[in-house]
Amino acid sequence: MPGFGTTKFPMKDYVSKMEFTTYEFFIIISNDRFTENDAKAAKEIASMKKKFYFVRSQIDIDFPVFTNQGIDVDRMRELDKLKQEIGSGLMEAGISEPIIFLISSLYLNEFDFSRLKKTLLKSLDGIKKDVLLMSLPSTTVKIVEPKRAQLKKRVWMWAIFSGAVGAVPVPGLSVAVDLGILVAAIIDFRKSLGLDDASLQRLANVSMKPVEFLKAEVRTPLVGEINEEFVKQMLLRSSIVAVSAVEMALNFIPIIGSVFGAVSSFGMTYKLLTDALDELVDNAQRLVKVAFATDPGHPQ
């Protein structure tokens, strides 16, 4: 949202104009000191029984020495001291027990970024939590594991859809749809786990490792070009292909063909996507460990 307390967005009209009631939670960000207007906004949010968090950004500028050192007593002491100072100022302004995070957008694996991500995830449920989780960069193993659990739910969704199509007694329809499902799902899994080219480049920037080095650690053909021909080769290497052949033969038999088609399509899609997800997760976890192998302060 735009900043408040300006002539264009005066504080007296800000809450109603920005429709605060429509939001799940709020992040109040400052790269310097939190102001009286920040405290006023927090009080308005608190009065609506909604959650809010204070985020102090650009910590790397204030404490550049922290970005060149591992976690030690002095570093933690200074960060705790800053957090206490910020908290004291907010409590004096009338905010009880403010929740504060110190972050740097240039160092996603440093400071309070990991704790901030966990806190935001706990603030949501259902599809909103799913969307936020998948949008987070896979910079720790602890982020990859929850993603696996959420993506496993999508495996069930895709498999059920595949089974529904498999029940339709139209020769070749189930196979054609299954191929499309598998292609779309694998590409979705890969992007969600941070194994696509754009995500790998972002990880390289954060970890300060060459992107070619990181790509060399990804040991699965699932990060290459994924199309229907690729999926067909996956099917040919799987014992499930025999079941698909029987499904096509039974398509012409009423009822029996529909039941067998639904079951076999569900099973084929579920098995192949589960195997693909496990393979991609293993690679994502290894990639994170390799990316931050020399960083003793990285939260695995």
Asked if residue 116 and residue 200 are part of one domain, the reply reads no
Residue 81 is predicted with a pLDDT of 87
Q: Are 263 and 163 in contact (CB under 8 A)?
A: yes
Residue 299 domain-assigned? no
Average pLDDT, the chain: 78
Asked if residue 170 and residue 273 are part of one domain, the reply reads yes
pLDDT of 239 over the 60 cut = no
Both tokens of 228, joined, read 């229907």
Asked if residue 287 and residue 146 are part of one domain, the reply reads yes
Q: How far is CA 223 from CA 115, 186, 211, 230, in A?
A: 30, 9, 14, 11
Asked if residue 111 and residue 141 are part of one domain, the reply reads no
Residue 283 is predicted with a pLDDT of 93
Both tokens of 160, joined, read 């059920």
Domain hosting residue 46, numbered range: 11-123
Q: How confident is the model at residue 131 (pLDDT cuts 50, 70, 90)?
A: confident
Residue 72 is predicted with a pLDDT of 54
Please list, in sequence order, all residues whose beta carbon lies within 8 angstroms of the beta carbon of residue 286, skipping any fewer than 6 positions away: 217, 219
* Number of domains the chain contains: 2
What's the pTM? 0.64
Residue 296 is predicted with a pLDDT of 42
Residue 253 is predicted with a pLDDT of 47
